[in-house]
Amino acid sequence: MYRHLFKLIWNKRKQNSLLMSEILVSFLVIFAVFTLLVYNYQNYRKPMGVDYENVWVINYDGDIGIKDNDSINIFYETLRRNIKSMPEVKEVVFSSNNIPFAPVTMQNGFDYNNKHISHVNSYTVEDSYKDVLNLKMAEGRWFNKTDAVTRYQPVIINRSLKEVMFGREGAVGKVYGEGADHNKKQVIGVVEDIKFKGDYAEAGYAHFVRADTASFRWLSRMMIKVTSGADATFEGRLYKLLAGQMKNSNIEIEHLANKRKNINYFALVPMIVLSIVSCFLIINVALGLFGVLWYNISRRRGEIGLRRAIGATGKSVSSQLVMEAMILTTFSLIIGTFFAIQFPLLNVFNLSAGIYLTALGLSVLFIYLLVMVCAFYPGKQAAAIYPAVALHEE
Amino acid sequence: MIRLQNIEKVYRTDTIETLALNSISLDVEKGEFLSIMGPSGCGKSTLLNIMGLLDAPSKGDVRIDDQTTQHLSDKQLANFRNQKLGFIFQSYHLINDLQVLDNVELPLLYRNTTAKQRKLLASEALAKVGLTNRIKHFPTQLSGGQRQRVAIARAIVGRPEIILADEPTGNLDSAMGNEIMEILMQLNKEDGTTIVMVTHDENMANKTHRLVRLFDGAQVQ
Amino acid sequence: MLKNYFKIAIAVLKRRKFFTFISLFGISFTLTVLIVLTAFIDKVVGDDYPDKKRDRSLYITSIEEIGKDSHSSSPPSYYFLNRYAASLKTPEKITLFSGFSGTNTYINNKKIAINYKYTDANYWEILEYKFLEGKPYTRQQIDNGERVAVISADMKKEYFGDVASVVGKYIEADNIKYKVSGVVKNLPITSYLLYSDIYLPFTVAKRDYKHKAYLGDCMAILLAPSKRDVSKMHTEYEQVVSKVPMENGQFTSIFSHASSYIEGYVDTGNEKSSGVTIALSVIGGFVFLFMLLPTLNLVNINITRIMERSSEIGVRKAFGASSRTLVYQFIVENIILTLLGGLIGIVLSLIALYLINNANLIPNLDLTINFTVLFCGLLVCLIFGLLSGVYPAWRMSKLNVVTALKAQ
């Protein structure tokens, strides 16, 4: 039977070409939308990696107008002590300005064993970073005071970087880099992935460097972990303290939870707009398909009557028509899949093949379902055609 | 073979009731070639449809092969038509998008046959109607007579015991019509197939074993 | 004849209600999305408040330094602009201003986030902000380093509440009290070059704004004396930039351009990829793909409609209608249908824009339909009608009379 239907459709390919191209374009649109959704969903499912509740961010200008390194350190240590002495403050950390949920990126390359990995995010942070953000270690340990004097520069990498760099073997203790020992780096710990760009973005590769006394010249962010009772009154007090101490600097306090919300908008808004638009497109296409299939069936009343006369049941007629639509769809999908499969093959947009394949599977399923739904009613109408009437119409 | 008893058929619309067949009783013997004649609208096509189980009578009983057909389900009816009956129509009803061979194979698709067997049977049927050299053509590439021969091949491919022909020569000139008639008569004689034919043409009707005339839904001869 | 076509068209559309519905749905929906998109683009890049002299202005928004292994780009610094842009001969006036950045203020135990921006005095002369009260700060006040501010209407409402006048009152931001000198009409954040909640003189900046570096946080608008001088001004700046010494040995070239508003708006900060090209291809690609589906759909439905009417066409042909008249008839029918869909589309867009404006997705961004947008909509309608009508009409003209008559 399939061969028969296949032949029937193949012989009608010219008439069906428009319908097929419509299904093809719908498929490609759906594929694009599903790729985006699958990508975002896969990222969304992964843990955030940080606790953003009750963490406040302080933006300040790093250049405070002091030239001497020691004086800078004294200035910031005093500041830190004063902030920590407030009862609402649990912990304070200074960081480079690429804090979580900030639209700032600092990246460099990473070489180990002749393997080069680019786009590795680099974060300069202090020992208390782990406690402020409640990071989880996968292996090894976080920075502590003993890292101040070491043979190699200690670094911590995230799980994604570890997996691509060192595979299954342990990363802790590995040394990489070129030149003298103090230019080389040694991995002392692996931290679980952190989604720095919000819920819907990939964690990416990350490596953390310990801030030293010279870093204070250019660090421009503080993060503080506050108690759950910290309110706007306290924030006002904190602000006065900061503004009073850092006279040359503009200061802004933000809440990490709000920053997360804001950065999520950038992923959510395109998703929502695209989904709404494609929803309407699909309704449009579905109505069109429905109309054309319906008309095709009314045009084929004679054929349907004949099939009934020579022994087809009503059910087999309606399932035949649905099957025909499905085979037509299959032709379109084969062509569509050929285009879609180029994305993982050519590694467009640097997404993993799994995302494309999942999206591909979902779109194929979606299009089949759509066509089936559109063909179902006309098929049922066809089954109700009375052969005695249909055969004598012409 | 076919036994109709007190068949009545009423068509109802909102306002009018039309009596298409009025108490028809008819027996068709095995191996008989019967023709039905009558003016347009006399109910002969309705009668043929009822015999072919395409339409159910309003009243009365249709027995085929001593089997009552009243309570058969849609599936059983379809099966019955497929196994026992073959149809030929005035306007051929070939599927234009399928090649001749595929058109002839059509009835076999609704039973369990292998592709190879289907091809074999269809080729045989086509040989019988003398169209062996046209199996790869599309119906639109054939003349009217050839098309009707394809339709006959399709009707006999499943080796049915009964063939129901609804004005098979109606769209053809007399030469082609005679050709078709020859084939039908040969089928009746050689294979013993029972044939019921509705026709307008007195000449054609005279070639059959028995003639039944209908007028306004009633049997007059 | 036309009236006759019209009558038939309406009759046909009424007869096949389902197909008419599908066609109208497709056309009106597509048009709605396109109109909303155009309205958005038109508002974002086409709204000339407050830079009404756009046609004789050029914008310097970025500087790029490129070396063998290094590449950095950002807005230029005050130092760079003051030294290389402010000395240009062609412009009638030049203003330097910083991008906006955030700070907070706390009032009555409530936190208010404030975006601030530093400007010079020319800023208020080149840009025609609408002052709801008060006036801009003067050159004199800037030179004296007075703590004065121009605030937006939204800021006034949020900080002071519903009061009649706030000129002369003090607003605290970043722990400093500024005397309000004027209140201006709000800008949406999409006009990000000029947007801010409070505007302050450069001289009150806490940071050393004259810091010697090329990269910074500053932008400039160059105002030419007339439209004709714009290209001269552009060339002059190119020449000046080409002679700028490298900041350090790391870099081998410096790029910075004085460009039109739109070029400056979509600047990517990368010499090799033009923002305009990217924006155009993204929008073009979207519109193309987006229109392709409904068009295909419409063509499909139109063919179905024609085939369904093949006996009517056969009869017309048999009674002497030429293929040409039939094609005209069909195209007129289709254009009536598209225009009808366009009308519904415009109504739908009005509703959609009303909803979008009410949802206040982007504060102060009031989307409206103007003549540009309507014209685009009409154009889209016509393209739509032609695209989806021509192929089916061609198919129809090929229809054979005999088969057409026999088909029914």
CA A188/CA A180 separation, integer angstroms: 19
Percent of chain A with pLDDT over 70: 98
Among all chains, which residue has been given the structure tokens 């409206």? C368
Asked whether residue A26 falls in the same domain as residue A144, the answer is no
Please give the interface size between A and C, counted as residue pairs whose CB atoms are below 8 Å apart.
Answer: 108
Q: What is the DSSP string of A229-269?
A: T--HHHHHHHHHHHHHH-TTS--EEEEHHHHHHHHHHHHHH
CA C225/CA C229 separation, integer angstroms: 7
Write down the pLDDT at residue C239. Answer: 92
CA A284/CA A358 separation, integer angstroms: 25
Per domain, the residue ranges of chain C are 2-47+276-406, 62-258
Could you say which residues from 14 to 33 on chain C have a Cβ atom under 8 Å away from some Cβ of chain A? 18-19, 21-22, 25-26, 29-30, 33
The CA angle B108-B113-B116, to the nearest 5 degrees, is: 100
Q: Which amino acid would we find at residue A366?
A: F
CB A248 within 8 A of CB A53: no
Q: Which of A118-122, B129-133, B135-139, C314-318 has the lowest mean pLDDT?
A: C314-318
Percent of chain C with pLDDT over 90: 27
Which residues, in sequence order, are CB contacts of A190 under 8 Å at separation 6+?
Answer: A137, A138, A139, A140, A156, A157, A158, A159, A162, A171, A172
Average pLDDT over residues B155-176: 91
Distance from CA of C92 to the nearest CA of A (A): 33
CA C377/CA A94 separation, integer angstroms: 54
Write down the pLDDT at residue A141. Answer: 93
CA C343/CA C108 separation, integer angstroms: 52
Residue B189: pLDDT above 90? yes
Average pLDDT over residues C318-333: 76
CA C294/CA C109 separation, integer angstroms: 55
Note whether C293 contacts A281, CB cutoff 8 Å.
yes
CB B20 within 8 A of CB A389: no
Which residues, in sequence order, are CB contacts of A345 under 8 Å at separation 6+?
Answer: none
Q: Which of C106, C298, C365 to mutate to test the interface with A (most CBs of A within 10 A)?
A: C106
CB count in 10 Å sphere of residue A170: 12
Query: A184-205, pLDDT tens digit by residue?
Result: 889 999 999 999 989 998 888 9
CB A155 within 8 A of CB A141: no
Asked whether residue A222 falls in the same domain as residue A302, the answer is no
CB C200 within 8 A of CB C118: yes
Chain B residue numbers with beta carbons less than 8 Å from the beta carbon of A391 are: 54, 89, 93, 166
Asked whether residue A187 falls in the same domain as residue A40, the answer is no
Distance from CA of B42 to the nearest CA of A (A): 15
CB A124 within 8 A of CB A219: yes
Residue C319: pLDDT above 70? yes
Q: What is the DSSP string of C107-149?
A: ETTEEEEEEEEEE-STHHHHS---EEEE-PPPHHHHHTT--EE
The residues facing C28 across adjacent strands are: none
Chain A residue numbers with beta carbons less than 8 Å from the beta carbon of C101 are: 250, 252
Write down the pLDDT at residue B197. Answer: 94
Distance from CA of B34 to the nearest CA of A (A): 20
pLDDT, greater one: B40 or A75: A75
Half-sphere exposure of B59 (CA within 13 A, CB side): 11
Residue C36: pLDDT above 90? no
What length does chain B have? 221
ipTM of the complex: 0.80
CB A217 within 8 A of CB A61: no
Note whether A22 contacts C293, CB cutoff 8 Å.
yes
Asked whether residue A101 falls in the same domain as residue A216, the answer is yes
Asked whether residue A274 falls in the same domain as residue A180, the answer is no
Average pLDDT over residues C290-311: 80
Chain B residue numbers with beta carbons less than 8 Å from the beta carbon of A311 are: 78-79, 81-83, 107, 110-111, 158
Please give the interface size between A and B, counted as residue pairs whose CB atoms are below 8 Å apart.
Answer: 80
pLDDT, greater one: B87 or C385: B87
Note whether B78 contacts A306, CB cutoff 8 Å.
no
CB C64 within 8 A of CB C255: yes
pLDDT, greater one: A151 or C5: A151
Split into its structural domains, chain A has a count of 2
A237–B contact, CB cutoff 8 A: no
Write down the pLDDT at residue A166. Answer: 86
**Max Cα distance, chain A (Å):** 103
Chain A residue numbers with beta carbons less than 8 Å from the beta carbon of B46 are: 388
CB count in 10 Å sphere of residue C6: 13
Asked whether residue A105 falls in the same domain as residue A189, the answer is yes
Average pLDDT over residues C193-219: 86
Nearest CA among C209, C190, C207, C186 for reference residue C198: C186
Write down the pLDDT at residue C404. Answer: 64
Query: C164-185, pLDDT tens digit by residue?
Result: 899 999 998 888 899 999 999 9
Chain A residue numbers with beta carbons less than 8 Å from the beta carbon of B137 are: none
Write down the pLDDT at residue C110. Answer: 83
Asked whether residue A337 falls in the same domain as residue A314, the answer is yes
Residue C69: pLDDT above 70? no
Write down the pLDDT at residue A284. Answer: 84
**Nearest residue in C to A28, CA atom:** C289
The last residue of one of the domains, among A250, A276, A306, is A250
Cβ-count burial C296-331 (b if 16+ within 10 Å, e if not): bbbbbbbbbbbbbbbeebbebbeeeeeeeebbbbbb
pLDDT tier at C1 (50, 70, 90 boundaries)? low
A306–B contact, CB cutoff 8 A: yes
Note whether A311 contacts B45, CB cutoff 8 Å.
no
Asked whether residue A278 falls in the same domain as residue A186, the answer is no
Domains in chain B and their CATH numbers? 31-45+73-219 (3.40.50.300)
The CA angle B170-B174-B180, to the nearest 5 degrees, is: 70
Q: What is the DSSP string of chain B?
A: -EEEEEEEEEEE-SS-EEEEEEEEEEEE-TT-EEEEE--TTSSHHHHHHHHTTSS--SEEEEEETTEE-TT--HHHHHHHHHHHEEEEETT----TTS-HHHHHHHHHHTS---HHHHHHHHHHHHHHTT-GGGTTS-GGGS-HHHHHHHHHHHHHTT--SEEEEESTTTTS-HHHHHHHHHHHHHHHHHS--EEEEE-S-HHHHHTSSEEEEEETTEE--
What length does chain A have? 394
CA A156/CA A122 separation, integer angstroms: 10
Phi, psi (deg, nearest 5) at residue C202? -55, -35
CA C201/CA C124 separation, integer angstroms: 11
pLDDT tier at C91 (50, 70, 90 boundaries)? very high
Query: C341-356, pLDDT tens digit by residue?
Result: 888 988 998 898 888 8
Q: What range defines the domain where residue A282 resides?
A: 2-45+262-393
CA C349/CA C288 separation, integer angstroms: 20
Q: Which of B79-88, C80-89, C250-259, C263-272 has the lowest mean pLDDT?
A: C263-272
Q: Which of A343-352, B210-219, C117-126 has the lowest mean pLDDT?
A: A343-352
Asked whether residue A383 falls in the same domain as residue A240, the answer is no
What average pLDDT does chain C have? 84
Residue C315: pLDDT above 80? no
What length does chain C have? 408
Write down the pLDDT at residue C408. Answer: 41
Q: Do strands C251-256 and C63-67 pair parallel, antiparallel, or not at all (unpaired)?
A: antiparallel
C285–A contact, CB cutoff 8 A: no
Which pTM value belongs to this model?
Answer: 0.79
Write down the pLDDT at residue C323. Answer: 75
Write down the pLDDT at residue C123. Answer: 95
The CA angle A263-A189-A123, to the nearest 5 degrees, is: 35
Residue C273: pLDDT above 70? no
Residue A92: pLDDT above 50? yes
CA C125/CA C186 separation, integer angstroms: 18
Distance from CA of B175 to the nearest CA of A (A): 24
Residue A151: pLDDT above 70? yes
Query: B53-102, pLDDT tens digit by residue?
Result: 888 898 899 998 888 888 888 888 888 888 889 999 888 888 888 899 99
Write down the pLDDT at residue A64. Answer: 67
CA A358/CA A361 separation, integer angstroms: 5
Q: Which of A323-327, B181-185, C354-358 has the lowest mean pLDDT?
A: C354-358
CA C29/CA C42 separation, integer angstroms: 20
Give the per-residue SS3 of A199-236.
CCCCCCEEEEEECCHHHHHCCCEEEEEECCCCCHHHHH
Residue C287: pLDDT above 60? yes
Q: Which of A81-85, B31-35, C143-147, C273-277 has the lowest mean pLDDT?
A: C273-277
What average pLDDT does chain B have? 89
Query: A24-50, pLDDT tens digit by residue?
Result: 989 998 998 999 999 999 999 999 999
CB C63 within 8 A of CB C257: no
The separation between the first and the last C-alpha atoms of chain A, rounded to the nearest angstrom, is 27
Question: Residue C254 has which token pair?
Answer: 């410096």
